[in-house]
């Protein structure tokens, strides 16, 4: 095997590790953006944030939202709910960004997998 081909296989192995790690970070992000409120569970995403913002723009303060299990959940203070989901989303996405960049830019596989 020539040196060039060996490098190609080394790169392939490295890419598997990076791809696994990125997938693991996404799994963690997905779980961190599940928001539990008043007996319901909501997936925080752009759609939920936009919908809640639109409801607030329509001067709604108490609403019923349908959660992940299609259960209707009463949201008594819509403004607080919006602030809470936005905070949760920012916290999770910022953490995702920091960890993702660490994986993306770190050339040393051992340090990516360091516990």
Beta pairing class for 34-37 and 40-43: antiparallel
Rg (CA), the chain: 20
Is 69 among the residues that bind other proteins (CB under 8 A)?
A: yes
What is the Cα–Cα distance from 35 to 110, expressed in whole angstroms?
33
Please measure the distance between the N-terminal and C-terminal CA atoms of the chain and give it in whole angstroms. 34
Is 115 among the residues that bind other proteins (CB under 8 A)?
A: yes
What is the Cα–Cα distance from 101 to 111, expressed in whole angstroms?
13
Pick 39 or 59: Cβ nearer other proteins:
39
Of the candidate spans 1-9, 20-28, 44-52, 77-85, the one that interacts with other proteins by CB under 8 A turns out to be 20-28
Is 64 among the residues that bind other proteins (CB under 8 A)?
A: no
Residue from 39, 46, 105, 111 in contact with other proteins (CB under 8 A): 39
Of the candidate spans 35-43, 47-55, 57-65, 75-83, the one that interacts with other proteins by CB under 8 A turns out to be 35-43
Interface residues with other proteins (CB under 8 A) are 13, 16-17, 19-21, 23-24, 27-28, 30-32, 34, 36, 39-41, 43, 68-69, 71, 73, 109, 112-113, 115
């Amino acid at each position: 095997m020539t040196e060039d081909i060996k490098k190609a296989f080394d790169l392939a192995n490295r890419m598997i590790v990076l791809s696994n790690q990125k997938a693991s970070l996404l799994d963690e992000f997905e779980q961190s953006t599940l928001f539990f409120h008043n007996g319901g569970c909501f997936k925080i995403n752009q759609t939920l944030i936009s919908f809640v913002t639109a409801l607030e723009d329509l001067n709604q303060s108490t609403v019923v939202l349908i959660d992940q299990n299609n259960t209707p959940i009463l949201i008594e203070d819509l403004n607080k709910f919006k602030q809470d989901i936005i905070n949760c989303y920012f916290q999770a996405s910022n953490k995702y960004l920091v960890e993702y960049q660490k994986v993306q830019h770190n050339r040393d596989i051992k340090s990516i997998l360091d516990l």
